[in-house]
Amino acid sequence: MKAIEESKIHTLLELKPFENNQEQKNKIFLEAMKESLLHHFQNSIEFKKICKKKDFDFKKDFTLEQIPFFPVSIFKKFELISIPKEDVFKTIFSSATTSKTPSKIFLDRTTSERQTKALVSIMSDFLQEKMDFCILDTKDTNSSSNEVKSRSSAIRGFLPFMNSIKFLLNEDLQINNLELESIQSSNQYCFFGFTWLIYKIISENKGNHKIKDILSKIESPFILHLGGWKKLTDLKISREKFYQEICKFFNTEETKIIDIYGMTEQLGTIYPDCQFGNKHVSAYSDIIIRNPSTLESESVGKSGLIQLLSPIPHSYPGISILSDDFGHLEGIDDCPCGRKGKYFRFDKRSESADLKGCGDTID
């Protein structure tokens, strides 16, 4: 059975990320999900319990909307695993920006390889060449420990796109002037960091003429940012204002800014913005927007909780997760950028989206 499972998911991962329309994708995606469902049903006690609680029978015909999901908060409360513990080679911790307890995600090599392949395929559609990366973080973040924080994991995921790498911040999260001064203005650069950290750097250095003079000599660098918007939302900083600040500070244009949505609980399957500001769903995952009160799926244009599905996780049952983020579908197969599939917008972070009852079911 394992060989068959690998074959189906391998077939999915061989697809180009945005070439197939939603109808074409659904057939292949559903088959990969069926095999992943069988693996986790057989190897995860918690996943089996929630399937039985929901009366879900994956041996019968079903739709993506019928697949049971874990609320994302469950990964903060339980150590969910679908493989023998001796097969775990890396543990990822989320950044825990809205609580003091991080999610804990166990990876085996199968899951890690799938995640890497998906991420590289997706980002290759947005970045057509390798660049010199300036990481707006500390060198210590890029830890080689088996227990890796999400910031380190995110940086490592983009290594295939790097000609070179510089870490621009000191341990106190201030700009390292020596590293910044070593930038060669003739090169093609990409500044990469977490959303809140980029905002922090901009806010603290608006009046630093030395830094601004160095950055002004770099022509239109790419800016990749990821991570939650909660800290900016708390400060009442809109996306428009943040992007204006980025363009002014880094001497770039808005079309070079790529906001990447994703979750530690489902690494690899990321959702970058295109030049029209839409987040695109690749062939390797899917999303469903659910009404926060009824949990029924919503149509295009209606805001609700974002559910993320992907057959890629093998070591833990993270194949169907209800996030605590609100978003809405903008459309399907018809984004002006030409990419096929679903595309959506992030709306806001929920302050109280933790579903009741799921933890009791697992207990």
CATH number of the domain encompassing residue 174: 3.40.50
Contacts of 205 (CB under 8 A, 6+ apart): 175, 211, 212, 249
Q: Are residues 253 and 289 in the same domain?
A: no
Torsion sign (Cα): 171, 173, 174, 177: positive
pLDDT in tens, 57-105: 888 889 999 999 999 999 999 999 999 999 999 998 886 555 568 889 9
Q: Considering the domain boundaries, does residue 113 fall inside one?
A: no
Residue 347 lies in a domain: yes
Other CB atoms within 10 A of residue 255 CB: 14
Count of the separate structural domains present in the chain: 2
| Domain membership flag for residue 296 | yes
More reliable by pLDDT, 164 or 147: 164
| pLDDT score at 146 | 60
**Pick the residue with more confidence: 324 or 235?**
324
Co-location of 126 and 184 in the same domain: yes
Mean pLDDT of 271-296: 96
**268 is a domain residue:** no
Q: Please report whether residue 138 resides in a domain.
A: yes
325 with 251, same domain: the answer is: no
Q: Which domain holds residue 157?
A: 120-261
Of 261, 285, 312, the domain-final residue: 261
| Mean pLDDT on 113-123 | 95
- In angstroms, the Cα distances linking 238 to 190, 200, 348 are 23, 15, 11
Instruction: Identify the pLDDT of residue 363.
Output: 44
Q: Are residues 320 and 203 in the same domain?
A: no
Say yes or no: 136 and 215 in one domain.
yes
Query: Quick one: 201 and 72 in the same domain?
Result: no
295/347 same-domain check: yes
Domain end among 229, 261, 293:
261
Are residues 244 and 138 part of one domain?
yes
Q: What is the reported pLDDT for 97? A: 52
Task: Let me know whether 253 and 286 are in one domain.
Answer: no
Q: Are both 198 and 127 inside the same structural domain?
A: yes
Q: Which residue, chain included where needed, has tokens 């903008």? A: 330
The H or E element that residue 151 is part of is helix 150-157
Please report, rounded to a whole number, the percentage of residues in the chain having pLDDT higher than 90: 67
| 115 part of a folded domain | no
Mean pLDDT along residues 128-154: 78
Residue 257 falls inside a structural domain: yes
pLDDT in tens, 179-236: 888 888 777 899 999 898 899 999 999 889 999 888 988 889 999 998 767 777 777 8
Find all residues with CB under 8 Å of 105, minimum gap 6, and list them: 75, 91, 92, 93, 94, 264, 265, 267, 316, 318
Residues 6+ apart with CB under 8 A from 18: 125, 280, 282, 283, 339, 340, 341
Give yes or no for residue 314 having a pLDDT over 60: yes
Map residue 124 onto helix, strand or coil. helix
Q: Is position 317 within any domain?
A: yes
